[in-house]
Amino acid sequence: MSWGTWIDLNAGNDAMKWPYPIRYGQEDAVDVDVLVLGGGIAGCWAAISAAEQGAKVAILERGSILGSGAGTGCDHWQWAITDVPGVSLSAEDFTQALVDNHGGYNNGISRYIQARDGYETLLELEEMGGKVRDTEDTFKGAEFRDEQTKLLFAYDYENRIVMRVWGMTFKRALRSRLRRLGVDIHERVALTGLLTERRGEDATAVVGATGLNVRTGAFNVFTAKATVLCAARPQRIWTYSTELAGSCDLRMPGAMGGGYAAAWRAGTEFAMMEKSIPAGLSINPSAPHGSGHPSNTWYPCTIVDANGKEVPWVDRDGHTLETFEERCRPAPGQRFFIKGGGQSSLPHQGLRDYQGPRLTNVDTLVEKGEIELPLYADLPSLPAHERRAIFGLMVGQEAKTKHTYANYTHAGFDPDRDMLLSYQQLIGGGGYGTSAEGAKTVLGFPSIRNAHSGTTGGPVVDWNLRTNLEGLYAAGDGMLGGNDHSHAATTGRYAGRRAAWFARQATARSGSREQIEAEKRRVYSPLQRKDGVHWKELLAGINKTMQAYCGAVKSEGLLRMALEAGEDLKHVVDTELAAVNPHDLANALSVVDILTAGIDIIVPACLARRASSAFLHFSRAEYPAMDPPEWQKFVTIRQEGGVVKQGERPLNLGAPFEENYLAHRPAAPIGA
């Protein structure tokens, strides 16, 4: 059956009739001080903090605020440093460690904001109704509990830089606060583009955005004095299969790059877009989310083989850890560890200074016949508090895994008695973070990659979290170096205040009619065709192009072939892309956004870096030397008039952190 027939079938079938009134082309106009794009964690916080400053705020979200985004849950609030009870590190020190751990390829500005404002933000969230303490005393006496504050910690119990929290309560608390503050909420509206105005010779200002209602097909025109980009980062660039993998990526499948594509078209500067990691953990979400393992949520679970033999844990120096307690302590002579878990062969353990305990290399043990597959997460053998902190608290609170918790419990799974199958040996090279030796390691699916797992590339920001475009701010996963929940919360909160402050001084804005009409023509063009290429087919073409020409090892020739294939795909968009209803149309436009992220942003970024880099997992065939000194810098790209402009920025972005933070610190809420 061709896609054309499929579309015809749906269009003519009464049972498949579209349930909402169709309003194609009709305009809904909104004018505000601050417009927030995306209603995930960063977006909610940005809207709240801007509204608390007295700004008139609107937020647009493709799904529903309550259920959308990667942050519908959260089991660990990481890397809050300043004022956390029992933490002796400074935010400056910790930020420097995070930056160094990525070879300098991190965003020191946003990471310092996270370390410095993380605890303050958590307390504000608690005041809104988020649950952050063990008020029922379930974990009384546990080693990871601060008895005075009832806060629970994870990973490194000595240094307490990560907290266990009840993240399923967070989104509801944020939405209540949005409503109470009178933020104008537009759900089921997908961002399609930014409205811009020229400011002199080579400056552009963002003056709002356009959106498509995914239910009615109506066109939304938002004008604003300041706009905060919080639409996270694109997924599905190298792979997508609802049928095989159950989804496509570790992150939210609804994150399809609308924010990146709109920002790119408007002229935003991006950095680190050449970084991607082999898909492994990230290609099949059932691995991290439906099974037991020794990382992240499941840290530091014991893993046993088919015969019940324990897979040994080792510290950063490879010394075998004899006791369970040692898994939550730094190695002798180590100050603290940033993250533990995984296994010692994975390419994402970071610098030795900050490496946490992990499993001995499973593949080697299997090859030597020392352990036998399959592996299991041995919950019953754990100390009772640890067992319940994993399967109970954390698995129940980490967004998608709440379904694992609910369904497995309903089916009779009992962590006091039962083990859970582990896919640790299948995980390969995907996952979190980066490392010095990473690019050389061939694990997982080397040519099926993920540009947006771990600390990633994105729009470059300054200490106001403003991009290079006047009036456009960015926060959360959708900015250079974004990756996690408290980072999204703190940067959203910070950017919202800066945007409100800017809006107070800015004059009224209005989008140009010509720009709006051009965007309407682009947005509705797939409706012109019933018979044609459907979004899934187009996406398959994009994925194949990226796998074949922008895979594990890149070269000038391959990357040029990617650009050529990209031109063919763009021709398909212009002449054949078809959609039959508003939802289908929104999906089609999102796949065009993925095309922009892959072909227009990532491929030129890969061409621009003419050196291999271990930290970026970036291998150029013609330039095999890893990280030569002259290439230890951010390569930046932006487009102007359809031409890619290349630039560079030094590593250690934002340093000295404290000094710069204090010089730019946003004002407290009015009345506070």
Applying CB under 6 A, which residues contact ligand FAD? 38-43, 60-63, 68-71, 74-76, 78, 167, 190-191, 230-232, 250-252, 254-255, 258-259, 398-400, 476-478, 483-486, 488
296: left (phi over 0), alpha (psi -120 to 50) or beta: left
Is 609 buried (19+), middle (13-18) or exposed (0-12) by CB count in 10 A?
A: buried
Q: Are strands 458-459 and 270-271 parallel, antiparallel or unpaired?
A: antiparallel
Of 362, 479, 367, nearest in space to 422 by CA: 362
- Are 543 and 242 in contact by the 8 Å Cβ rule? The answer is no
CB of 26 or CB of 286, closer to ligand FAD: 286
Min. distance of Cβ 450 from ligand FAD in angstroms?
Answer: 12
Min. distance of Cβ 178 from ligand FAD in angstroms?
Answer: 13
HSE value, Cβ hemisphere, 13 Å, CA-based, for 68:
24
CB of 260 or CB of 615, closer to ligand FAD: 260
Helix 485-505 × helix 41-52 angle, to 10°: 40
CB of 401 or CB of 468, closer to ligand FAD: 401
Beta bridge partners of 643: 640
DSSP state of 56: -
- Are 239 and 546 in contact by the 8 Å Cβ rule? The answer is no
Of 496, 464, 458, nearest in space to 480 by CA: 458
CB of 339 or CB of 609, closer to ligand FAD: 339
- Are 68 and 596 in contact by the 8 Å Cβ rule? The answer is no
Min. distance of Cβ 38 from ligand FAD in angstroms?
Answer: 3
Min. distance of Cβ 11 from ligand FAD in angstroms?
Answer: 25
The span from the CA of 272 to the CA of 605, in Å, is 8
CB of 75 or CB of 315, closer to ligand FAD: 75
Min. distance of Cβ 220 from ligand FAD in angstroms?
Answer: 10
Min. distance of Cβ 337 from ligand FAD in angstroms?
Answer: 17
Of 202, 213, 190, 199, nearest in space to 262 by CA: 190
| Backbone torsions φ then ψ of 102, nearest 5 degrees | -105, 20
CB of 378 or CB of 484, closer to ligand FAD: 484
Min. distance of Cβ 479 from ligand FAD in angstroms?
Answer: 8
- Are 590 and 256 in contact by the 8 Å Cβ rule? The answer is yes
- Are 260 and 595 in contact by the 8 Å Cβ rule? The answer is no
Q: Where are the alpha helices (DSSP H) in 63-107?
A: 91-101
What the block records as the tokens of 462 is 């300054």
Min. distance of Cβ 361 from ligand FAD in angstroms?
Answer: 26
CB of 115 or CB of 565, closer to ligand FAD: 115
CB of 208 or CB of 478, closer to ligand FAD: 478
Element counts in the chain: helices (H) and strands (E): 19, 24
Min. distance of Cβ 126 from ligand FAD in angstroms?
Answer: 16
Min. distance of Cβ 62 from ligand FAD in angstroms?
Answer: 4
The span from the CA of 555 to the CA of 610, in Å, is 9
Q: Are strands 219-229 and 27-37 parallel, antiparallel or unpaired?
A: parallel
CB of 62 or CB of 175, closer to ligand FAD: 62
CB of 70 or CB of 226, closer to ligand FAD: 70
With vertex at residue 121, the alpha carbon angle to CA 341 and CA 184, rounded to the nearest 5 degrees, is 115
CB of 439 or CB of 488, closer to ligand FAD: 488
The span from the CA of 327 to the CA of 349, in Å, is 15
Min. distance of Cβ 166 from ligand FAD in angstroms?
Answer: 11
CB of 178 or CB of 488, closer to ligand FAD: 488
Min. distance of Cβ 398 from ligand FAD in angstroms?
Answer: 5
How many of the other CB atoms lie within 10 Å of CB of 663? 8
Q: Are strands 472-474 and 219-229 parallel, antiparallel or unpaired?
A: parallel
The span from the CA of 658 to the CA of 662, in Å, is 6
Task: Give one DSSP letter per residue of 493-552, joined into a string.
Answer: HHHHHHHHHHHHHSPP----HHHHHHHHHHHHGGGG-SSSB-HHHHHHHHHHHHHHHSSS
Min. distance of Cβ 68 from ligand FAD in angstroms?
Answer: 3
- Distances from the Cα of 49 to the Cαs of 130, 465, 531, in angstroms? 16, 14, 46
CB of 45 or CB of 549, closer to ligand FAD: 45
CB of 430 or CB of 446, closer to ligand FAD: 430
Is 395 buried (19+), middle (13-18) or exposed (0-12) by CB count in 10 A?
A: buried
Q: Which helix (H) or strand (E) holds 620?
A: strand 619-620
Min. distance of Cβ 666 from ligand FAD in angstroms?
Answer: 18
CB of 423 or CB of 631, closer to ligand FAD: 423
The span from the CA of 111 to the CA of 482, in Å, is 9
Min. distance of Cβ 477 from ligand FAD in angstroms?
Answer: 4
Q: Which residue is nearest to ligand FAD (CB)?
A: 40
Of 173, 97, 126, 88, nearest in space to 652 by CA: 97
Min. distance of Cβ 346 from ligand FAD in angstroms?
Answer: 19
The span from the CA of 340 to the CA of 2, in Å, is 48
* Sign (positive or negative) of CA dihedral 255, 257, 260, 266: negative
CB of 439 or CB of 495, closer to ligand FAD: 495
Helix 556-575 × helix 582-595 angle, to 10°: 160
- Are 464 and 443 in contact by the 8 Å Cβ rule? The answer is no
